[in-house]
């Protein structure tokens, strides 16, 4: 009953906006019958009215109502709806900020990226992780530097893995050196603040994401790191398989010897991945 009452209050407020009161920048202006304000309100499309309704809900004191409003704005897949959702990026609740990160993705890619990048420094791990994923979906190269910084220096592996995934989606070659240094610390990259402070073994999920992203980017500069990860018999099986798949995606024939060696691996899934990668490389080179 409490929720229904709140929805009725919102509907009434929207009705006031359309009818007797029409808001400009938050300032109420009384609309006399036949006035310009009244005609402007009446000319709003159903989509504009729905956007305004959800915008009003973003001022609710209830976290769940604000989150739901952002979800509805995002589901419209409309730039103006996404622009209305921008205020949610500054919300006090982490779940609302995350919902806003997803809701603004109908803006132009670079505009979305510039709005999201500050959230990569959010104090909440959940917000940083989901922001990294959202930046990957923008495909904007403007996000590459900030994502590399999270990949190398974030304290939480979940955030670093999300940054690696996003870099693969964006497919900018400037990320290759950093991804390779994560997958293979011997790649020659300069030591980072994180590597100086932490000596623990790298999280396999981060390694898998780095290998996959190197394959998606498809640069030959990532081959040495992929070779070493594939041939590391002490490494995680999932990481070796992902490296084999990535080598097939890069499509360079210099990977064939290492892949053929992997055909005899005890892990049947690795040998299968190597076989498929070999076939992919041979098919691409025969065209």
pLDDT digits (tens, 9 = 90+) for 41-52: 668 899 999 999
pLDDT of 79 reads 98
The pair of three-digit structure tokens given for residue 31, joined into one six-digit string? 């609309």
Res 31 pLDDT > 90: no
More confident residue, 85 or 192: 85
If you search the block for the tokens 């290759």, which residue do you land on? 176
Closest among 237, 242, 186, 195 to 214, alpha carbons compared: 242
Say what the alpha-carbon torsion angle 103, 88, 165, 196 is, to the nearest 10 degrees: 180
Closest among 63, 51, 65 to 23, alpha carbons compared: 51
pLDDT of 4 reads 54
């Amino acid at each position: 009953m409490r929720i229904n009452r709140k929805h009725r209050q919102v509907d009434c407020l929207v009705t006031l906006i359309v009818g007797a009161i029409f808001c400009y920048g938050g300032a109420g202006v009384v609309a006399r019958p036949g006035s310009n304000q009244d005609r402007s309100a009446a000319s709003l499309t159903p989509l504009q009215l729905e956007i305004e309704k959800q915008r009003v809900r973003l001022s609710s004191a209830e976290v769940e109502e604000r989150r739901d409003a952002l979800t509805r704005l995002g589901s419209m897949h409309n730039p103006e709806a996404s622009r209305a959702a921008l205020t949610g990026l500054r919300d006090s609740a982490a779940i609302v900020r995350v919902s806003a990160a997803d809701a603004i993705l109908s803006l132009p890619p670079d505009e979305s990226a510039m709005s999201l990048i500050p959230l990569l420094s959010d104090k909440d791990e959940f917000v940083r992780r989901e922001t990294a994923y959202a930046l990957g979906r923008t495909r904007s190269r403007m996000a590459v530097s900030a994502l590399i910084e999270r990949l190398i220096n974030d304290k939480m592996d979940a955030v670093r893995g999300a940054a690696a995934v996003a870099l693969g989606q964006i497919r900018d070659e400037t990320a290759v050196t950093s991804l390779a240094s994560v997958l293979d610390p011997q790649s020659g990259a300069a030591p980072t603040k994180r590597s100086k402070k932490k000596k623990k073994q790298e999280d396999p999920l981060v390694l898998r994401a780095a290998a996959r992203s190197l394959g998606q980017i498809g640069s030959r500069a990532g081959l040495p790191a992929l070779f070493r990860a594939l041939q590391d018999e002490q490494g995680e099986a999932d990481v070796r398989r992902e490296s084999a798949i990535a080598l097939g995606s890069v499509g360079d024939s210099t990977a064939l010897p290492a892949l053929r060696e992997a055909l005899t691996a005890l892990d049947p899934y690795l040998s299968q991945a190597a076989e498929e990668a070999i076939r992919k490389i041979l098919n691409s080179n025969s065209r």
